[in-house]
Structure 1
Amino acid sequence: MRSLKVLALVFLALMPLSGLAQSGSDSSETTETRDEAAQDRNARETVENLEKPLYNPFVERYVLDELKLLRSEMAQQRVELTEKIVDRQMDSIDRGVSYATNTITYFFYLIAGVSSILVLVGWTSVRDIKERMNKIADEEVGKLVETYEKRLEAIERQLTQKTRHIDANREEIERTQELHALWLRAGQETLSANKIAIYDQILDIRPDDCEALTYKADEVLELGEVQWAINLCQQALTIDPDNAHAFFQLACAKTMLGNYDQAIHYLRETVKRSDTYRESMTEDPALEPLYGMEEFKALL
């Protein structure tokens, strides 16, 4: 009894200590929850106050990776479909050959039986029957061989066509990967001369790339080569007559040459095709001589 009383006293003494420990842990958990909520609110306020995207090439990289994955899956599906078609046609050929072999075998049995009867009757000799049987068999086998040779040639043509198509898709994927790497390099370069060299490499791979032509014109304007930039923009408009970026670069070039009326005309064409350039019109230093003109203000 005395030992039980001692244990009860010890338990009652420890009860307040456990309550204090539990309250301390609850207070620490409440403090951590409040800190996490404050960090969440700060992150949301930072994201909501963003005025520009963090890094556009990430979006381009995502789109190109999705295109690459899609093309790879399409190529794999074509290969699998071709393999299935070839397997089915080969099975059909095997069944046809087996059927022809069985037919010829039964035909031989039938001829052998008939020839035996004729020999017994005395109609002709066994040698004549054998020669006639071989002739008929050769004719039938020749017809079957000719039919299946034509089918095999058709299968071979289909396989050749599918192989060429798969090779073309593979080359297109490789070109897309190379172009993507060049665009990333151009976005990381700071010197206009280096950017122009990269755009030239892009145009070597894809000469009708209007985006590369217009961005090259932008860098050429930075170097003061106005006429060169005009030629590049006109080349881009020849490929794509509705390219808004080409019209915008032409407006900048005409402003640098002092042809303000033509510059306003090209800015109108730009705004017709894309309203997003209204903000760029007020930020591009090449268009500063137009800021005081009423026509320019009307565009804004």
Structure 2
Amino acid sequence: MIGIAGAGAFGTALAVALAKGGCEVRLWARDTQQVRLMQETGRNDSALPGVDLPKSVSCHADIADVCGGEALLLAMPMQALGGALDSWQQIHGRQPLVACCKGVDLATLRGPVAVIAARRPGAQAAILTGPSFAADIARGLPTALTLATAGDGAALQELLSTPTLRLYRTDDVIGAELGGALKNVVAIAAGTVIGAGLGDSARAALMTRGYAEMVRLAEALGARAETLAGLSGLGDLVLTCTSQQSRNFRFGCALGRGETFDPRVTVEGVATARAVVRLAETLNIDMPITGMVNALALGRIALNDAISQLMSRPLKQE
């Protein structure tokens, strides 16, 4: 049995893919009404409309029901991860705990694996990340992800792989965490460029310089540059900077057009930018794009001023 804590779009999509791959899956949601509707209809239309849940997916409102299996996937927003682990005393032992979120914790400036390890030191902590949209995974479209864990991840890789979900593993946890987190910030910037009508050439330049920022911070924290060149970095960056399916990209488009974005939609890159600005300052790392995204999201700078400041930076060798 594989437990999934979090019945949003991504958690539900993973439940569908793993069940179709032959696993028994138990899916937990905080909202008891949502659980009841999923049990009655066999679907989760509030998060992933039009997708039928396989018979081997059961839905639960008690977190204890999804604990104790071969692995527990934590499919919730990054900023909710620490609080959930603090309150769920039902999680114990050495069960693998796999983060399925991307970001940097505002309270600790840690990534999801470090947050898990700090609260459940006996568990195998891992992260599942990479270029993926929930709708594609649920439809059974070919998807490749990175599974990062400090220990031997071969058994976990085998457990979570399906005929349509291909996992590559790495022991560079920091690189995988930061690749998934920082690309959301760059995606907001890319969306802003497109929303403001600055064109695809500007977006390409923004993505390239944003990627340089990602590598710069990751290496300073001990990650390997080649990890950022893989699925959890470059692959995810390309996907989220070029598709309207990306919430971070859509948020950026709204910023660029001067429109209000739906406050009910979680945009992980906003909190990540805030955390990374603080982290970069402590390490004396230059991250101008991240800084501008943070300032724009907080309303501290006008879009034209942000563009002017970025374009007037000192000329230098690439």
User: TM-score scaled to structure 2, two decimals?
Assistant: 0.26
| Greater strand fraction, Structure 1 or Structure 2 | 2
User: TM-score scaled to structure 1, two decimals?
Assistant: 0.27
Q: Which structure carries more relative contact order (alpha carbon 8 Å, separation 6+)? A: 2
